[in-house]
Amino acid sequence: MAVLETSPRPSRTTPVILTAASAVAALALAAVGSGAFGGTPVASAAGGYFSSTATPVAPGAPAFAIWSVIYAGLLAYAVWQLLPGARHSARQRRIRPWAAASMLLNAAWLWAVQLGSVPASLVVMLALLGVLCRLFALSLAERPASRAEAVLSDGTFGLYLGWICVATVANTASVLAWAGVSLPAEPSAAVVLAVAALVGLALASRRRWSPVLAVAWGLAWIAVARAGGTLVLPGTAVTAASAAVVVLAAGLVASLRGRKGNRA
């Protein structure tokens, strides 16, 4: 009887190693691209269109400290997913490629800015947002198997998604400023912030705290930036602060409803 030859199945270890390698490469490229080793800081690159005073919806400089938490989470995730439990997890097999893509796209965004291409930065940012939305949908489809997975996978990428939602708003405003589009500062900022708040409310409805906290963090620092400094817009400051409070309140309400539902 003839024996049918079959091609060997691809190793399940390969995607795990590639994800870890993507994390290391992305973090190294991000460090160089952010100006950490003597290059131009993001706020000063690309004509200064990404500084905290470039547009009415640009967050204050301290807001970007959230990247330290996100990067630490990405590195911890890269190490954790090497462990046997995560390595053989069907849930992580679905999440892993999108996680790696998000890391590399972040590095690509920084390099687009360093190369001075404001429009290209928005294209990369939108691709990153799409990847993180897909990752978030996958994480919602199945509950995490452990607390470690909930924190390192869902928590990290939820925080990442929430911040990128705010960053996409700021990035779009930077492109409009670069293109010379002039809009009334306070009314246009109010519309943009309302959209950001609606995104935050949608995330809050999914009962995940990490993206909600990141959106509220970004909105709060837009409020701080417009309340003082060289681009003072009192109306925008109040709108941004109100949006941050509404998003946090929605997250709290959704969380309390979830607890009541679990007890029923």
Digit-coded pLDDT (tens) for 79-107: 999 999 999 999 999 999 999 999 999 99
Instruction: Average the pLDDT over each of 28-42, 107-121, 229-243 and give the range with the smallest value.
Output: 28-42
- Nearest Cα to 189, choosing from 228, 236, 227, 241? 236
Asked if 216 and 244 touch (Cβ cutoff 8 Å), the reply is yes
pLDDT band at 262 (very low <50, low <70, confident <90, very high): low
Q: b/e map of 125-144 (b: 16 or more CB within 10 Å)?
A: beebbebbebbbebbeeeeb
**Which segments of the chain does DSSP mark as H helices, in order?**
13-33, 66-80, 84-87, 90-114, 118-141, 147-149, 156-178, 185-204, 209-227, 234-263
Phi-psi region of 51 (alpha: psi -120 to 50; beta: other; left: phi over 0): beta
Q: pLDDT at position 6, please?
A: 45
pLDDT band at 2 (very low <50, low <70, confident <90, very high): very low
